[in-house]
Chain A
Amino acid sequence: GAVVSQHPSWVICKSGTSVKIECRSLDFQATTMFWYRQFPKKSLMLMATSNEGSKATYEQGVEKDKFLINHASLTLSTLTVTSAHPEDSSFYICSAKTGMDTEAFFGQGTRLTVV
């Protein structure tokens, strides 16, 4: 299957700083990328959907100024957690699709810990 690489796998940052997470589709062009957040023992919570070259569509309740998403190319999307706080600590996962009705391929996930 197609490969989606997410970096970093884990990161620890100080409260108030910003953290950038990258999501790359290595062997296909991802027209759409999704960013999820997952709390322990909970299912995926969709944060936003991004299409290459356009602004991301955020789900209700997700602060777009806090979770900046950029999908500058067909192979790269980034999520920046700005002014991180301990409550932002979570497992963030990206997924990418090539078309409307295809499966989503997931990155490895990033475990963010804000101290």
Chain B
Amino acid sequence: AQKVTQAQTEISVVEKEDVTLDCVYETRDTTYYLFWYKQPPSGELVFLIRRNSFDEQNEISGRYSWNFQKSTSSFNFTITASQVVDSAVYFCALSERSQGNLIFGKGTKLSVKP
């Protein structure tokens, strides 16, 4: 069975701190895709990144970076020098080629205080 676990329910940091959001997944498929979505207070779901199971290279996009490790079934997300605008709920999600939908974790609420 497929599952996504985000063990951190809420995280609070002070602006300019680095913060890492954890994501652990379970799947039986050898081909799958991992995602991070951001849900700001306004409520929409914003796509951040997609990673496929064959590409374990870490990715950096500005202040955001992602660490994908198949050995530990983890896909962690780090925000460097956090800003107040980063305050949101962040969801990790899994898509299997044999399935037709995204399976979401419960989300991590990040609060960045000035």
Is B truly associated with A?
no
On B, residues with C-beta under 8 Å from A are none
Which of A's residues lie within 8 Å of B, judged by CB? none
